[in-house]
Amino acid sequence: MPGLAPRSQDRHPFHVTNLQLHQTHDPGFLLSSWERLARAAGLRSKVLTRLGGEKILFLESPGTASPVYLSSGIHGDEVAAAWGLLAWAEENQKRLSQGRFLIFPCMNPHGFRQNTRTDYRGLDINRRFHLARDPLTGPWRRLIRQSPPSLGLCLHEDYDSQGCYVYELGGQDARLASRCLAASASHLPTDPRKQIDGRRARHGIIHRKTIPQNLTGIPEAVALWQLGCATTLTFETPSEAGFQERVQAHARFIAEALS
Ligand SMILES: [Zn+2]
């Protein structure tokens, strides 16, 4: 089977080394790629915890400065986000070596393998980030408290979206989210709806300066913000679009956010 390497460097400038189509739901391939990249870029590869027989890996730059936080793979049926993050990282090893990053490539390896939103317990992890005693989000909260990130990018996909959109929480740079969406629009259009997920949207951006009421649980981005991260962007691509375009949109989004 041919790999997913781009036919045209212009059209698909980001790609993951040796990724084959049948491996897009293989957390083992994803995490071994990250471990190899971490060694090359001088990042520390650490195990947050072990759950359901699987390690929850994260990567961390040495140093004490406030990190940039990057995460994907919370929902296992949103795999292009995880490969987009890896594709961006493979193109930006020098950046990874020189900056300070905290990266969670896949918090839900069971769901990633099974193509399910929920984790090995049948739970939606992204409604549990307020729980200090949860075996996953408890250790995560302790880690974030030690050194709150300056910027958080949480990468997701949405099966019924009509294009790419962003939840922005906090936000010191009012134009950051729109710049990032403009970059991703070179591969996938921006969601035109004025209401997304029951919330008011403008040009694909759902902006919040306060924590939304009526949440059924606390998502990662909100917990990051509560724990001191000034700006979080949650990026969503339409999961019914083509895989390669979704990967490119995520990588473009990250590249612009960190430019
Ligand atoms: Zn998601």
pLDDT at position 126 is 97
Give me ligand 1 centre to Cα 217, in Å. 14
Give me ligand 1 centre to Cα 207, in Å. 18
- Kindly state the average pLDDT of the residues 92-109: 96
Question: Does 41 map to a domain?
Answer: yes
Residue 54 backbone dihedrals phi, psi, to 5 degrees:
-125, 145
Give me ligand 1 centre to Cα 19, in Å. 22
The rounded radius of gyration (Å) of the Cα atoms in the chain is 17
pLDDT at position 12 is 75
Q: What is the mean pLDDT of the chain?
A: 92
pLDDT at position 10 is 61
Give me ligand 1 centre to Cα 124, in Å. 9
Q: How confident is the model at residue 209 (pLDDT cuts 50, 70, 90)?
A: confident
Give me ligand 1 centre to Cα 79, in Å. 10
Question: Does 4 map to a domain?
Answer: no
Give me ligand 1 centre to Cα 42, in Å. 29
- Kindly state the average pLDDT of the residues 117-121: 97
Give me ligand 1 centre to Cα 154, in Å. 9
Amino acid sitting at position 175: R
Bridge partner residues of 249 (DSSP) = none
pLDDT at position 5 is 42
Give me ligand 1 centre to Cα 5, in Å. 25
Looking up tokens 């193509």 gives 115
Q: How confident is the model at residue 98 (pLDDT cuts 50, 70, 90)?
A: very high
Instruction: Give the whole-number percent of the chain exceeding pLDDT 70.
Output: 95
Strand order in the sheet with 68-71: 44-51, 54-60, 101-104, 68-71, 151-158, 231-238, 165-170, 205-208
pLDDT at position 242 is 95
Whether the predicted model's global pTM rises above the 0.85 cut: yes
Give me ligand 1 centre to Cα 63, in Å. 30
Give me ligand 1 centre to Cα 156, in Å. 4
105, 86 contact by CB (below 8 A): yes
Give me ligand 1 centre to Cα 237, in Å. 10
- Looking at the structure of the chain, the number of domains it has is 1
Question: Does 52 map to a domain?
Answer: yes
Question: Does 229 map to a domain?
Answer: yes
- Kindly state the average pLDDT of the residues 175-185: 95
pLDDT at position 7 is 42
Task: Give the domain range for residue 96.
Answer: 21-64+76-257
Amino acid sitting at position 189: P
- Kindly state the average pLDDT of the residues 192-210: 92
Looking up tokens 């259009």 gives 189
Give me ligand 1 centre to Cα 74, in Å. 6
Q: Which of 19-33, 66-80, 151-165, 209-223 has the lowest average pLDDT?
A: 209-223
Q: Is 60 exceeded by the pLDDT of residue 193?
A: yes
CB environment 132-143: b (16+ within 10 A), e (fewer): eebebbbbbbeb
pLDDT at position 1 is 34
Question: Does 208 map to a domain?
Answer: yes
250, 155 contact by CB (below 8 A): yes
Which CATH number goes with the domain that contains 120?
Answer: 3.40.630.10
- Kindly state the average pLDDT of the residues 121-146: 97
pLDDT at position 183 is 96
CB environment 235-247: b (16+ within 10 A), e (fewer): bbbbbebeebbbb
Question: Does 27 map to a domain?
Answer: yes
- Kindly state the average pLDDT of the residues 10-18: 79
Give me ligand 1 centre to Cα 95, in Å. 26
Over residues 215-227, the pLDDT tens digits come to 789 999 999 999 9
Question: What is the secondary structure of 122-165 as a DSSP string?
Answer: S--GGGBTT-TTSTTHHHHHHHHHHS--SEEEEEEEETT-SSBE
Question: Does 6 map to a domain?
Answer: no
